[in-house]
Structure 1
């Protein structure tokens, strides 16, 4: 347990930040899941729209420090390739 006033305050701040980051990460996962579900359903238009909405949300996670930049780029790239393949088929 934190002993000094400063370490107690830091513990409180970390707790608050953790809750915010957890919510943000959960929100990003929800958007990604919607893209996955649209791809699975085979609906190219819905998948394209879901990806269009998910991209800025994922990049916002990067700017907030919740997701690494390369991780976000990789996820977007792979989803875009799958959506493109779905559209071509």
Structure 2
């Protein structure tokens, strides 16, 4: 357990940051799941719309430090290629 005042403050800040990041990660995963579901259903219009909604969320996660830039780019690339493959 933290003993010094500085360590106690850092522990409080880490808890708050963890909660914010967890909520942000959950929000991004929800958007990605909607894209996956649209792809699985075979509806290209819904998948395209879901992908368009997921892109800014994923990139916002990058700017906020939740995801690495390459990770987000890889996810976007793979999803967009799967949406493009729908006919």
Unaligned 5+ segments in structure 1 are: none
Which position in structure 2 is the counterpart of 1:17?
17
2:48 maps to 48
TM-superposed CA distance for 1:57, in Å, is: 0.3
Q: What's the secondary structure of 1:65's corresponding residue?
A: coil
Name the residue aligned to 2:60.
Answer: 60
Q: Where has structure 1 moved over 3 Å in runs of 4 or more?
A: none
Aligned to 2:27: 27
Q: CA deviation at 1:80?
A: 0.3
Q: CA deviation at 1:28?
A: 0.3
Aligned counterpart, 1:83? 83
Deviations 1:1-22 (A, max 9, x none): 0000110010000000000000
Gaps of 5+ in 2: none
Give the SS at the match of 1:73: helix
How far residue 69 of structure 1 moved from its aligned partner, in angstroms, is: 0.3
Aligned-residue Cα RMSD (Å) equals 0.4
